[in-house]
Structure 1
């Protein structure tokens, strides 16, 4: 009885994996920087400005997170 095995090279060598991890890391850093910027800008607003926008100081972290990462 003969058995045939198909193997396909997907180009996922160690270099490709490291490159992919580095790319994901850079993307995560960029998102984190955007989150920090959004959070800091909202934190610098007065309570009255925040109320005019329709949210309180307690909502800042959630709003910044949703802005960057979505729901």
Structure 2
């Protein structure tokens, strides 16, 4: 392989890795946002029924995104 071919191949692999990381991050952000928004729409009584405090919503949404 020539140096140019190796460079192009390495560049393509790095680009694909970056693109995949961005797709993964976007998917996780979407899960976080959806979870956060849905829990935020619940009133305090509904949250209490689920044993969730309003202060825990961000943590729960982050955990949901991390598990995806």
Is the structural similarity TM-score above 0.5?
Answer: yes
Larger Rg: 1
Unaligned runs of 5+ in 1: 1-8
Question: Higher relative CO (CA 8 A, sep ≥ 6), structure 1 or 2?
Answer: 2
Provide the alpha-carbon RMSD of the alignment. Answer: 1.4
Q: Which runs of 4+ in 1 moved over 6 A?
A: none
Structure that is richer in helix per residue: 2
**Aligned pair count?**
60
Unaligned runs of 5+ in 2: 1-5
